[in-house]
Amino acid sequence: MPFSVPFRALACLLALGLLAGSVGTARPAGMASGADTLSVYTCCGSLTGFNDLAPNDLTSMHALYATRLAGLFPHLAWKETAFTDQATMENLLASAVKAGDPPDLVFVQGGEIGTLVLRGLVQPLALYYPSAHVHAAAFLPGMRRWARFGGHWWAIPAVSGPLGGQEIYLPKYMSQLGYDNRSLRSFADYYNMSRKAAQFDGKGNPTHIGYWPGVDSWETTGTLMCPVGHGLYNAADQPTATDPCNVQYLQYLAKLAKLYGGYPKLSRFLAGDPDFLNGSARSYVVTGKAAITASGGAYWNLQPFDQHHFGAPGGLTYQLTPLPPTPDGTAANAANYPSTMQEIVIPVGARQSALAFAVSKAIFWDNSALLGGSLSGSPMVGNQQQWLQQVAAGESALRRLADLPGNPIAALAGVKMQPRLGLESKASNPINPVDSFYQQQLLLATRSVLEGRESPKAALAAVQGKVLSEEQRLRRTYGAWNW
């Protein structure tokens, strides 16, 4: 047994009739009548609004699922606690488990599941999966890899990407640079476009830039510099910071920063961006001060353009590249791109474990196509085309509410490709519990390189040493693991 996590008996067994096939209205054995309240922790881009009664929030969990759930679970109520960062949520979860008062459900980034398992905060779900009659092949590859490892099911696949990294841009600015979907494929394309876009004031400070993926882009854009099995981790999920492709990516970031006059000047420029995600008409992508921003690196960030006018009659015309940038610009590299987002865990000691699993199955498996209404992806292989229809329907409803014409997202190649890309992408963020520390060290090292204090090769060598040391500390503290 590779885990040092105690297997605890669960409070109640599932009623087989509830979880066989589609969820019905049968109640898990041992549950009292009356209100069944599920407490849920939400965080960091997860679906929210389980109790949201605001009529204008068409993407909240209440708007998407309340009617469906009322028929399946007539006495269901919710207690939602929202967090803004993963670390704070995990610390409070640890305290709640220790105090014997944990929530019933917790949304987590898939890569965090290994840490939670290692710390003994979540329960294995072996009792529930057999009763649910769900085969592993039903889930997108990356979602399945997060949910089952070490011979056990630990999580409920909930919200897939299914693939981020397609870049949002406004054609009225990009066409001036001579680029579009056909010519924005490789890292070289993005650099050459950026060179044409860059403008400066009399003191050499940038006033316009092209593309900047961000110093924290290692587990997203950076992975596409590497073939599968290389990069930040090898095929066995062991840290490999010094892999040559990582050096190449850090050199690429440094080259981009130098193009914009150096990282200090770029940082000051970026600090002034109000960002389009909040609907600001002064955001850089809206005004053309940035052709592609780090926050515009995924199809699910298109929603603000269907909710706001940005000061323009009829709103703004947007576009999406069909693929993330890769070294050679081909789709083959996209198989190495993380394709997943969030899963749900049930903490040790949860009082409504059976109901929590049953409701999660009803939402994220049996009715997962409805997630398209919020631009969150379905984790289920069989629901991808229905999900795509819900994406278009949801954005159409948002545009009508905002008095915007048409429904441009329905025609975007980058959105139509999502079902295929979600199936083809085999990568997901690693389960290795050292990953949070690893990302912190990469962020520090990247800034050090961009500020000229270290070379990319030396910085990544230092990261590798620190990460291996931290991995050994975790082993001494918690025991061994086999992922």
Lowest mean pLDDT segment, chosen from 286-300, 320-334, 464-478 = 320-334
pLDDT at residue 33 above 60?
no
pLDDT at residue 351 above 90?
yes
Mean pLDDT of 194-207: 98
Mean pLDDT of 269-275: 96
Give the CATH class of 168-336.
Answer: alpha beta
Lowest mean pLDDT segment, chosen from 19-28, 64-73, 353-362, 461-470 = 19-28
Find which of 112-116, 350-354, 434-438 is predicted with most confidence, using mean pLDDT: 350-354
pLDDT at residue 56 above 90?
no
Per-residue model confidence (pLDDT) at position 22: 30
Mean pLDDT of 167-196: 96
Lowest mean pLDDT segment, chosen from 107-121, 127-141, 228-242, 259-273 = 127-141
Per-residue model confidence (pLDDT) at position 482: 57
Per-residue model confidence (pLDDT) at position 201: 98
Per the model's pLDDT, the better-predicted residue between 396 and 235 turns out to be: 396
pLDDT at residue 32 above 60?
no
Find which of 30-39, 128-137, 470-479 is predicted with most confidence, using mean pLDDT: 470-479
Q: Residues 57-102: pLDDT tens digits?
A: 899 999 999 999 999 999 999 999 999 988 899 999 999 999 999 9
Per-residue model confidence (pLDDT) at position 40: 97
* pLDDT band for position 316 (cuts 50, 70, 90): very high
Per the model's pLDDT, the better-predicted residue between 293 and 163 turns out to be: 293
pLDDT at residue 141 above 80?
yes
pLDDT at residue 355 above 70?
yes
Mean pLDDT of 372-390: 94
pLDDT at residue 387 above 90?
yes
Per-residue model confidence (pLDDT) at position 16: 25
Q: Domain 16-162+341-424 belongs to what architecture?
A: 3-Layer(aba) Sandwich (3.40)
- Work out the mean pLDDT of the chain and round it to a whole number: 88
* pLDDT band for position 481 (cuts 50, 70, 90): low
- 185 within 8 A of 159, measured Cβ to Cβ: no
pLDDT at residue 2 above 70?
no
Mean pLDDT of 239-253: 97
Domain range list for the chain: 16-162+341-424, 168-336
Question: Do 16-162+341-424 and 168-336 agree at the fold level?
Answer: yes
pLDDT at residue 27 above 80?
no
Q: Residues 103-130: pLDDT tens digits?
A: 999 999 888 888 899 889 999 999 898 8
Per-residue model confidence (pLDDT) at position 114: 87
pLDDT at residue 34 above 60?
no
pLDDT over 90, % of the chain: 67
pLDDT at residue 441 above 80?
yes
Q: Residues 410-428: pLDDT tens digits?
A: 999 999 999 988 888 877 7
